[in-house]
Amino acid sequence: MDWQARYQVGDTPWDKGCVTPVLTELIGKNPFFFGESKRFFVPGCGFGYDALAIAETGSSVIGMDIAESAVKQAQRLESAERELSFVSGDIFELAENLYGRFDFVWEHTCFCALDPSLRSRYVEQMWKVLKQGGAVVGVFFINPDVAAGEGPPYGASREEIRALFASHFVLEWESEPKCCYEGREGREHVMLFRRLTDCREIDC
């Protein structure tokens, strides 16, 4: 998928123009995840609405996207008043200075955008950027309207997602969001995976 080309021609049906209601709900219900001492990484951040909402809690946030056009627009949200920055980059080619740096990864429609063959590598990369005790928290797209094997977005069941993360994370909690973008009712699942200190599949 040429993401940059999609942004250049404005073919971005995933972009809803605002923060996902799931994140707003999460911030309201779990304010202790957020705040001044917390550092977040937002992979596949798109235009940056979620990253902005997290930064507005006082957290420090870096959003990354492979599409330069998306990052350029997101960078308009940067301001001296908040610790928010956007970088263009590929999450599979992360600079080592990002390793072990974050308390949380906020996942929202990056995982489902990736070819399923890349999912294990996604899990490894998120493990690498997190500090000890850090966590991936996010909303996973469970049942997109596409035939099996077609995408993006690529579907994944709760069981598949749990199994994928199990090599590097332990599932701490999961829930069904009460709010979501119109049209995604019943198709999103919130999960928090806590980083394992010793992973089973990579040299740590």
Q: Does 108 bind ligand SAM (CB under 6 A)?
A: yes
Cis status of the peptide bond prior to 116, with omega within 30 of 0: no
Which residue number, 3 or 165, has a Cβ lying nearer to ligand SAM?
3
Alpha carbon distance 123, 163 (integer Å): 11
C-alpha dihedral sign at 49, 55, 59, 62: positive
DSSP 183: T
Residues 55-74 as x/- pattern, contact with ligand SAM by CB under 6 A: ---------xxxx--x----
Structure tokens belonging to residue 154: 């690529």
Which residues pair with residue 86 across a beta bridge? 63
Considering the complex, what minimum distance in angstroms separates the CB of residue 57 from ligand SAM? 18
Using CB under 6 A as the binding criterion, the count of chain residues that bind ligand SAM stands at 20
Closest CA to 49 of 1, 106, 105: 106
* Candidate residues 74, 77, 84, 91; the one interacting with ligand SAM per rule CB under 6 A: 91
Task: Please select the residue that binds ligand SAM; options are 31, 35, 76, 92, rule is CB under 6 A.
Answer: 92
One-letter amino acid for residue 119 of the chain: R
| Residue 132 Cβ vs ligand SAM, minimum distance, rounded to whole Å | 24
Q: Does 110 bind ligand SAM (CB under 6 A)?
A: yes
CB of 198 to ligand SAM, least distance (A): 26
Q: Residues with Cβ < 8 Å from 190, sequence gap 6 or more?
A: 22, 26, 137, 138, 139, 140, 174, 175, 176, 177
Minimum separation from the CB atom of position 14 to ligand SAM (A):
4
Residue 5 sits in the site that holds ligand SAM (CB under 6 A): no
- What stretches of the chain adopt beta strand conformation (E)? 39-43, 60-65, 84-88, 102-108, 130-141, 169-175, 188-195
Which residues are within 8 A (CB) of 174 and not within 5 positions of it... i.e. 6 or more apart?
158, 189, 190, 191, 192
Q: Which is nearer to ligand SAM, 77 or 91 (CB)?
A: 91
- Name the residue nearer to ligand SAM (CB basis): 44 or 134: 44
Which x/- pattern, by CB under 6 A, does the window 36-55 give for ligand SAM?
-------xxxx---------
Contacts with ligand SAM, residue ranges (CB under 6 A): 3, 14-15, 43-46, 64-67, 70, 90-92, 108-110, 113-114
